[in-house]
Amino acid sequence: MMKLNETTPLVPTIPVIPRDVADAIEWARKMNGSVEFIARRWQDVDRFDGPTSELLWSIPFDTLMAALINGYEIELSPKEAAAKERKEACEILRKEYVDVRRKEREWARLRCGSTSAEYRGFAESIQFAARTLKLDISEVTE
């Protein structure tokens, strides 16, 4: 028999659900508010029907229960997901650019010209990548 490690806390699952399901959950909470009421809407197909129930049925019961008890995150739309990925890419490029420029200055200060030129080349490559990806170059400058 497996023993639980008493020092490791259990972390609740926070599901990611579609926006329309989240809206249905919030509507059902306003109507009655109880987890039991919403669970019954999900389970009793003959008694409850309509758009709210159909949205609740679109996710598994355990996901619904986790959302009701632990909270939930709303699934990003394709446009929101693309914007998030773009922002993350900008941040990665910005950090790399700042780091490369810092190293370039350090090598220039130490009078190691060839290595300084290499870092300058890296920085220009990052700027080129940003332009190629159509990222605002001001987002990746110092």
Q: 68 and 84 share a domain?
A: no
Domain residues for the domain of 85 are 78-140
Residue 113 lies in a domain: yes
Residue 102 is assigned to a structural domain of this protein:
yes
What angle is formed at CA 125 by the lines to CA 121 and CA 131, rounded to 5 degrees? 145
Q: 84 and 58 in one domain?
A: no
For the chain, how big is the Rg over CA atoms in Å?
26
Share of the chain above pLDDT 90, in %: 16
Q: Are residues 103 and 68 in the same domain?
A: no
Residues 84 and 67 in one domain: no
2 located within any domain:
no
87 and 130: one domain? Answer: yes
Return the ∠ at Cα 60 (arms to 85 and 62), rounded to 5°.
100
pTM: 0.55
Closest C-alpha to 100, from 114, 115, 120 = 120
**Residue 79: predicted pLDDT:** 92
Number of structural domains the chain divides into? 2
Residue type, 35: V
Give the per-residue pLDDT at 53.
74
Instruction: With cut-offs at 50, 70 and 90, classify the pLDDT of residue 140.
Output: very low
DSSP state of 74: E
pLDDT digits 0-9 by tens, 21-66: 999 889 888 887 788 888 877 777 666 667 777 888 889 988 999 9
